Structure 1
């Protein structure tokens, strides 16, 4: 199954490059410019490479023991069902302004219920965090974050960064929207998908099966962005953009267990391009 997931994540940008051209729309906002596909792919690959080589060696998270696996499997299964429930709700009934409250209720309330229904004594994730050298815990993610951000937003591959369409909105409105996005996306999604779901899948099945599975579920969550156009194209954009981001965030989390690094990564992808409008 991991091989199929990897094939989908690779095939998506290739199919987009062959059929739709060099740019793709990654945001549901009509004001947001399209992003060059080459910049998305390059930023993701360079980010992954820098996560891997800085530093070359880090302690690995221990696998769950036989006694811990039953409860951990139930937890992971329950969390995966929540991850599937959100896009199912969106496809069944467009929640509109209720999307964010529903997501928070599922990701925090639903996850809490799952963990309380099937408690586990497994502490492998915390042990992995404590085993991480302090220097690399804080400094290790920086090259990947900076390299990824440069290629995606500031390099010649970044394309147009024209955000003038957002100037119709008051700065206070943009700030409030940014803060809301930080809570509902940067915090809620990373805690749920990476800290809770991926960590348990890693303990059960290993690093890369967990990263790939979580990334596909993370991409599926963005089904609300499907708009006009061929369905396959919308799915390919979700896999290339959201799925690729999920792989990068997941690998960063798996190697460093630094929740602040993935918060920063997610905040950057949602808000970095708006920064000149917020502070200018």
Structure 2
């Protein structure tokens, strides 16, 4: 525990930034924020915090995670630090590339940046500077039962509860193209982001700085690149929007990963957040 004591400032700084961002949004927009780059509907961040907060509270109350050894705890510390530093820099470069790209061109380069900075270069680094692989079997019952209970609660809150965050946005494209777009988004957003931010980066950071500092660091790094694609008409709104929305969701996903080490439920939750509900309404609505 003592080895992580000096990094607790990361946790307190993250909480402070989230609270200050929330106060700023209350002053500037009455707490209303954008929740998607695909449409401009506004939602109260209080509503979002409840939708995410109840599953997070339930996750906290569940029994502690099973004795899963962090595979990177066996790595030489210099090797681990080098790998982690390069991965963090790749995440930072992705953020910078997104922010510096003109708004009208950002979606033209979005997936190129993501493949380069979050997958291709990190994969090369992991191969060149080897460390133990995850080798996780997902065979132990607690790795599925408890995470799935959390996921079911999240699905209810997000899609079915009175606080549902689903949108009636109309995508002006055929069902086939909408389905293909959803599939590409699932692979390059949900799968790739959870692989890079949680499995690759957070797991290594946990060994170096502790669980919650790692969760906070990864959540903020993941959240802030979203300022390039959504968040408001000014930079201050874009930043605070990302912090109170994606930042809080990132804390939830990071906590779920740290506690149960089941990446599949992370991918499922992430994928459902990005899933165009219009596919379902078109298929079953006639």
Higher relative CO (CA 8 A, sep ≥ 6), structure 1 or 2? 1
TM norm. shorter chain > 0.5 = yes
- The answer on whether the counterparts of 2:219 and 2:250 sit within 8 Å (CA) in structure 1 is yes
TM-score by length of 2: 0.85
How large is the RMSD of aligned CA atoms in angstroms? 2.4
TM-score by length of 1: 0.87
Residue number in structure 1 paired with 2:228: 224
- The answer on whether the counterparts of 2:65 and 2:259 sit within 8 Å (CA) in structure 1 is no
The 3 A distance-change label for structure 1 pair 85 and 144 is same
Query: Which residue among 126, 130, 136 is the counterpart of 2:142?
Result: 136
Residue number in structure 1 paired with 2:170: 165
- The answer on whether the counterparts of 2:219 and 2:251 sit within 8 Å (CA) in structure 1 is yes
The 3 A distance-change label for structure 1 pair 13 and 149 is farther
- The answer on whether the counterparts of 1:141 and 1:252 sit within 8 Å (CA) in structure 2 is yes
Residue number in structure 2 paired with 1:155: 161
- The answer on whether the counterparts of 2:36 and 2:230 sit within 8 Å (CA) in structure 1 is no
Name the stretch that deviates more: 6-15 or 62-71.
62-71
Confirm or deny that 1:205 pairs with 2:217. Answer: no
Name the stretch that deviates more: 247-256 or 225-234.
225-234
1:256 to partner: Cα distance: 0.8
Deviations 1:33-66 (A, max 9, x none): 3233222101221121122222345325459658
1:71 to partner: Cα distance: 0.4
* Number of residue-to-residue matches in the alignment: 272
CA distance in 1, matches of 2:232, 2:259: 38
Structure 1 unaligned runs (5+)?
Answer: none
Q: 1:157 is paired with a residue of what secondary structure? A: coil
Residue number in structure 2 paired with 1:106: 117
Structure 2 unaligned runs (5+)?
Answer: 1-8
Residue number in structure 2 paired with 1:79: 87
